[in-house]
Amino acid sequence: MSRTIGVVSRDVLLAEDGVSFLRGLMEGRHPGAPFADAMDFDLAEVEEGRVVFVGRPSPRFFNPLGTIHGGWTATILDSAMACAAHSTLKIGEGYTTLEMKLNYVRPVMPGNGDVRCEGRLIHRGGTIATSEGRLVDASGRLLAHGTETCMIFSGKAAAGR
């Protein structure tokens, strides 16, 4: 299945609540993010406070040691944890990542098969959301995990910056 890759306008982004927007990515109503296409992972499940990405680690992401580069692992975890926060946004709200912490447990290898990265909301306040993420291989073994803090803001205020 061919899908469109691109970036949505701020007006489109702010016109939907978080779950609706993320489901629009999965359904093809909105284009997929260019970086996710380049990193070979896709949004697979969305509900309020929880998302799952499926990734395909391949040799093109090897570091010089012959394992998948930690940046690939960090990217899929950041995406899952941030989108868990995104799934709670109301119409007109935006967000950005303030910080994240990761723990690498096992090397990620192409032989792991498709990996699943689940992000779950821990807390959502008025301006701060925290989430956690877990990356597991095809047999359910933990590869990496982390936590993230996101700032929630008015999308209209951000447009004026």
| pLDDT number for residue 2 | 55
> Is residue 112 pLDDT above 60, yes or no?
yes
- pLDDT band at residue 1 using 50, 70 and 90 as cut-offs: very low
- The ranges assigned to domains in the chain are 10-159
Extract the tokens encoding 116: 């699943």
* The domain made up of 10-159 is a member of CATH 3.30.565.10: no
Q: What is the pLDDT of residues 60-90, one digit of tens each?
A: 999 999 999 999 999 999 999 999 999 999 9
**Cα dist from 17 to 14, 33, 38, 81, 114, whole Å:** 7, 18, 26, 17, 29
Digit-coded pLDDT (tens) for 5-32: 889 888 988 999 999 999 999 999 998 8
| pLDDT (0 to 100) of residue 161 | 46
pLDDT in tens, 137-150: 999 999 999 999 99
